[in-house]
Every structure is written in C-alpha cells, then in structure tokens.
Chains A and B, each alone.
Chain A
Amino acid sequence: MSTPADRAPRTTAVPARAAWSAVVPAGHHLTLTDLHGNQAVDFLVYDAHDTAVRYSAPDTITAQGNVFLTTGSVLLSDEHTPLMTVTEDTCGRHDTLGGACSKESNTLRYGHHTWSQHACMDNFLSEGARHGLGPRDLVPNINWYMNVPVEKDGTLGIVDGISAPGLRVTLRAETDVLVLVSNCPQINNPCNGFDPTAVEMTISDGTPS
C-alpha cells in the first residue's frame, strides 16, 4: 500500500549533458521542465515489462498524420500500442525525426574534429545498459523542445529553438514504462543554443500540477 510519501511528486534535476532514467507506472505522469530554455531533451520509452516493445517514431507520426508532437500526441510502440500520451505542452511542438546525436553522426554532420565530444547515443548506451539494454534497443527517438521544420522540397534541419525557461511537457504513462533521457550535450547546432543546460524531471501519481 502506498504511503503519502510514495505519492509525493519526485523531482530530479538532470544536469547539462547528463543521462537519466526511471520507470513510470501506468497512470502516473512525467513532467519535463526546460529550466533555462532551448534545451533539447532526447527521449526513448519502452514497455517496462517487455523492452522489445519500444517507442516507434514512424508508428506515432503515421497514426497522428503529423511529424510534430504536442498535446494529445500518443506515443506508440513498434507494435502500435500506446506507451504514453502528451497531456500538456506549453512549448508548442517537438521533434521526432532527427534522432539522437552520436559521435559517429557528428563526424558526418560537422567533421572529424567533433569525435572527442560527448553525444546522446553514449548517454543512451550507458544509461540503457543499467536496464539490460544495448545498441539494438536504440531507435529514432523524441527530441523534446527541439525545432526541426521540413520545407516543401524535403529540406529538414535543426534550427533555433522555440522553447523558453520554465516551459514544460507532461506525459501520462499508458502502461508501466521505462523512460531513457539524454539531456543533449550537442554544442555544434542550435538544438540547445550551443549551450547545454539543466532540465527537471517530475514523476507524480495524480493529475499534473
């Protein structure tokens, strides 16, 4: 039986460039707060009881008929089952096309001089390993607060963010889920204004505050 202490919201500040993970029970809410504004939060979600069932960007955008995520977006698994639902979004829209930065992709995007820098895939790998996940469990993810427009000719790119200090996204878990987060360390593009900053994660059992 849960105690009042169990039901109190649990808040964790995730420092710039760091990883974070948690199991969010069905019906509970996870709120991601962009403390300083314009910080990209790379995010993957798995069925906590069967991590082979995981977030699918294509299923999610196909089902909703739109490439941007916002309030009402249902995050679907690759088996087309609901994992989480966006219940509140004070930013406006979020990306799920661009995936995570990696040391490898950075060499293509910017040059081989970036190889020594940290990247989200490393965060996902090390944080995922704590839950028995490996490279084959990493798929194209969500980038909360990241702004990736698509032009008529298909041109797509990460541009200046539309987030601001204190903006937040709240997700309701539709089943028990495992969430992996990389607070993006990217310093070569505008996804976080070239300056990674801290974000805050809050898990609560009731309606969002």
Chain B
Amino acid sequence: MATATTYGARDHARAQAGTAAEHMPTVPATDWPEHPCEAGHLVWAETVAGGGYTHRTVARGTEIRLTDRHGDACAHLLLLAAGRPWERLSTADTVKVQWNAYLRAGRLLLSSHGRVLASLVTDTADGRHDTLCGTSTLAGNTARYGDGAPHSASPAGRELLKLAALKNGLEPRDLPPSVSFFQGVAVRDDGALEFTGPAGPGGSVTLRAEQDLTVLLANVPHPLDPRPAYTSTALEVLAWTAGPTAPGDPLWDATPEGRRAFLNTAEYHTSKGIR
C-alpha cells in the first residue's frame, strides 16, 4: 500500500481534497451554489448533520438563515455577545419582556443586559419553535435512547453545546437555557406542554445579529419528541453580511419594549464609537 511511506501517506491524504459530503461546511462560503443575498456576501455556508453541532462568531449586521432541509431538524441555539460571554441569551427576559412565550417573525432574542442579541426577521416554519424546554441532556438521552455522549448514535444537545462552548474558551457555566427552532411546543390552559412537531421540509428562519455574536448550534431531537427512535435530519446554515436593525425599520418601533431594547443596543455601540 502506498501509505506505507510518508510520501505515499501525504499523497493519499491530499487526494481526498475536494470530496463532497452531505454534511459539511463550504469554504469559502461564496462557493455555495445558491445566493440568498448580494453576490459575495455569504460568510457561512454549512450543512449540519443530525446529531451534529457547529459554532461561529458573526459580526453585528450578519443575517443567519437556518433551514430544516428534510423536516426533522431541530436547531438548538445559544447566542452570547462575542468576547463578553456574561451578556448572553436570556430566555426568561425574551418571553417576559415581549409578553409572549412563542417565537415568530418580529420577535427579538434578548440578552441578560436589556439589549437585543438577534432579531427573528423571517419565519416560514409556522412558528414551530420553542423557548421553554431547552435541549436534551446526557442523562435524559441515556434514559431515552441508551446513550447521550457526543460520539454515540444519540448525542445530547447539552453535550454538543458544551463542546461548542469549550472551543470558544467558554465553560459549561456559560450555557444558559437555549431556544430551539423547527419543533413546536404549545402551552395549554392548565400549563401542560404539548409537542406540536415540525412544520415540514424546507422551513426556515432568518436571524439578524444585532451585536457581534458567538453562535452555538446543536442539531438534535427536541427533548419532548415522543418518537422512540432518535430522529434528526440535516440543518442548513447560511449567513451573509447585511446590516443591523436601524431606526426606520418596521421592527424598530414594532413594540415599546422592543424599541427600548434597540435603543439600549444602539447606545451600547455608539458609546464605544461604533455607528
């Protein structure tokens, strides 16, 4: 075998270049075949496997489109201010300040500091999203599927988000409860939770980064998914350079609470000299 020598092993390794797989990042992102934005503006193009995770730092003004390609993705998302992880997603403030438990177009993902981390600008997945149930755990998946370790056939979301956090110099303490997209949960009058499942293949949401963000993503079954089999299909992630929400954008004045959140966010940036 040619790989018995260093030269042969090197040639063998190099011959793999250009291999295409269903689940992989496209680098540079501009090589992605479809462009949902101005040519040349794509900065992140990736297909995350079911049971997989990814992470990226994106600039304020980046738009991130998540797509449930085959109908059984569930994008468990955490956002932290890049380089300032003490400011991070607050699910409690997100639902309380906006007077609503559900995510849909126009809602904001609020930080623990009274500012906007990201705006949910489009949603073609019928609001099948969740702010209440968090993600799956090693103990929970071990009970459900027999294992929940990242290398197992049924990785738990929290284990994957921990890896994503650790790769960004963060620790498990830096992981508050996450939100998830593409598997719905409703609250009944008596407080009971009802799993409403996915909207179908092709549903997408677009998030607009209102600050420089550390984005942590795990694509695993929702913890309330009743099916006995671990069912998780591909999640497509595309991100492109756009612009943050500014005065005049309908979102800016959509609610009094949101307007103050945008004002706080803008003031944070202008006081640092960022326009």
Contact A157 B97 (CB under 8 A): no
User: A58-B132, A98-B95, A154-B187 are known contacts. Are A135 and B260 too (CB-CB below 8 A)?
Assistant: no
Interface segment out of the listed A13-21, A33-41, A108-116, A173-181:
A108-116
Contact B172 A67 (CB under 8 A): no
Interface segment out of the listed B1-9, B48-56, B98-106, B243-251:
B98-106
Contact B191 A102 (CB under 8 A): no
Q: Which of B114, B139, B193 makes the CB contact (< 8 A) with A108?
A: B114
Interface segment out of the listed B83-91, B197-205, B209-217:
B83-91
Contact B99 A61 (CB under 8 A): no
- At the interface, yes or no: B26 with Cβ under 8 Å from chain A? no
Contact A57 B139 (CB under 8 A): no
- At the interface, yes or no: B61 with Cβ under 8 Å from chain A? no
Contacts of B224 in A (CB 8 A): 62, 65
Contact B191 A79 (CB under 8 A): no
Q: Which chain A residue has the least Cβ–Cβ distance from B88?
A: A136
Contacts of B85 in A (CB 8 A): 136
Contacts of A56 in B (CB 8 A): 134, 177
Total contacts A-B at CB 8 Å: 144
- At the interface, yes or no: A129 with Cβ under 8 Å from chain B? no
- At the interface, yes or no: A140 with Cβ under 8 Å from chain B? yes
Contacts of B237 in A (CB 8 A): none
Residues 247-275 of B contacting A (Cβ, < 8 Å): 257, 260-261, 264
Q: Which of B86, B173, B193, B260 makes the CB contact (< 8 A) with A52?
A: B173
Q: Which of A79, A103, A108, A150 makes the CB contact (< 8 A) with B97?
A: A108
Chain A residue total in the interface (Cβ 8 A): 47
- At the interface, yes or no: A139 with Cβ under 8 Å from chain B? yes
- At the interface, yes or no: A200 with Cβ under 8 Å from chain B? no
Contacts of B95 in A (CB 8 A): 97-98, 156
Q: Which chain B residue has the least Cβ–Cβ distance from A65?
A: B193
Q: Please, how many angstroms separate the alpha-carbon atoms of A139 and B177 in the complex? A: 7
Q: Please, how many angstroms separate the alpha-carbon atoms of A140 and B112 in the complex? A: 10
Q: Mark A90-113, 1 if CB is under 8 A from B, else 0.
A: 000100011110111111110110
Q: Which chain B residue has the least Cβ–Cβ distance from A138?
A: B112
- At the interface, yes or no: A2 with Cβ under 8 Å from chain B? no
Q: Which chain A residue has the least Cβ–Cβ distance from B262?
A: A108
User: A102-B112, A139-B176 are known contacts. Are A150 and B101 too (CB-CB below 8 A)?
Assistant: yes
Min CB–CB distance B163 → chain A (angstroms): 15
- At the interface, yes or no: B174 with Cβ under 8 Å from chain A? yes
User: A58-B132, A135-B86 are known contacts. Are A79 and B137 too (CB-CB below 8 A)?
Assistant: yes
Contact B93 A52 (CB under 8 A): no
Q: Please, how many angstroms separate the alpha-carbon atoms of A62 and B132 in the complex? A: 8
Q: Please, how many angstroms separate the alpha-carbon atoms of A93 and B189 in the complex? A: 13
Q: Please, how many angstroms separate the alpha-carbon atoms of A106 and B110 in the complex? A: 13
Q: Please, how many angstroms separate the alpha-carbon atoms of A104 and B139 in the complex? A: 35
Q: Which chain B residue has the least Cβ–Cβ distance from A61?
A: B132
- At the interface, yes or no: A80 with Cβ under 8 Å from chain B? yes
25 interchain pairs, CB-CB under 8 A:
A58-B135, A59-B134, A62-B224, A66-B191, A66-B192, A79-B158, A80-B138, A80-B139, A81-B139, A97-B101, A97-B132, A98-B92, A99-B91, A99-B92, A102-B93, A105-B90, A105-B110, A106-B114, A108-B114, A109-B96, A135-B112, A150-B191, A154-B102, A155-B100, A156-B101
Residues on A lying within 8 angstroms of B by beta carbon are 52, 56-59, 61-62, 65-68, 78-81, 93, 97-100, 102-109, 111-112, 121, 134-141, 150, 152-158
